[in-house]
Every structure is written in C-alpha cells, then in structure tokens.
Amino acid sequence: GAVVSQHPSRVICKSGTSVKIECRSLDFQATTMFWYRQFPKKSLMLMATSNEGSKATYEQGVEKDKFLINHASLTLSTLTVTSAHPEDSSFYICSASFRRLAGNYEQYFGPGTRLTVT
C-alpha cells in the first residue's frame, strides 16, 4: 500500500517554543491531508482538513492560530504547534488521501509524532 511518513517521530520541546511536524506522502500525490490528535488511551480526534494550495478547515474547538497547518504541495503538509504548552503534549497523526481513477478515495495514515512539552 501507499506510504505516509511523519517527521519527527517524537519531539520534546520547552513551553513557549514552537514545533513543526511534517507529513509526507512518499509514493502518491495527496489532494487532501488530515491531522488527528490522540490523547493517551483515547480515540483519534480530527483537528483539521487541508487541501493542497488552500487554507485548512479546522474542526470546532481547534484553535487555528495555535495549530498552523500548511499544505504547500501535493506531497507535504506541516502542522506547527505555536507557543507550546504542556497540555499540547499528545500523539499527532496525519493521513493523506487521493482519488483513484475509479472515483473512490483512498486514505493512508502516518506513523504518528509524539510531542512532549516540558
């Protein structure tokens, strides 16, 4: 199947700093990328949907100024957590989607990034 990578796999940063997480589709062009957040022992919560070249659509309750999402190309989306606080510590997962010729969409998930804010 298709491969989606995330970098870094884990990161520790100090409160007040910003951290960027990259999501890449390695062998396909992703028209849409999604960002999810997962708290320990909890489900995945959709944060935002981004389409290449346009602004991301954020889910209700997600601060767009805190979680900056950029989808600059068909293979790369970035999530920047700005002015990080300990409560932003979480597991962040991206997924990338493309449309097959048959018309159906396929979606693949990255391995996740564990963020710890001290």
Partner 1 sequence: GIQVEQSPPDLILQEGANSTLRCNFSDSVNNLQWFHQNPWGQLINLFYIPSGTKQNGRLSATTVATERYSLLYISSSQTTDSGVYFCAVKIWGTGNQFYFGTGTSLTVIP
d(CA 5, CA 7): 7
Q: What is the DSSP string of 51-65?
A: ETTSPPEEPTT--TT
Is 77:33 a contact under the CB 8 Å cutoff? yes
How many residues in the chain? 118
**Residue 67 binds to partner 1 (criterion: CB under 8 A):** no
Least distance CB 71 / partner 1 (angstroms): 14
Under rule CB under 8 A, residue 90 binds partner 1: no
23 binds partner 1 (CB under 8 A): no
The minimum distance between CB 34 and partner 1, in angstroms, equals 6
Among 18, 73, 105, 116, binds partner 1 (CB under 8 A): 105
Q: For residues 84 and 58, what is the distance between their CA atoms, to the nearest angstrom?
A: 18
Residues making contact with partner 1 (CB under 8 A):
1, 32, 34, 36, 38, 41-46, 49, 91, 93, 95, 97, 105, 107, 109, 111-112, 114
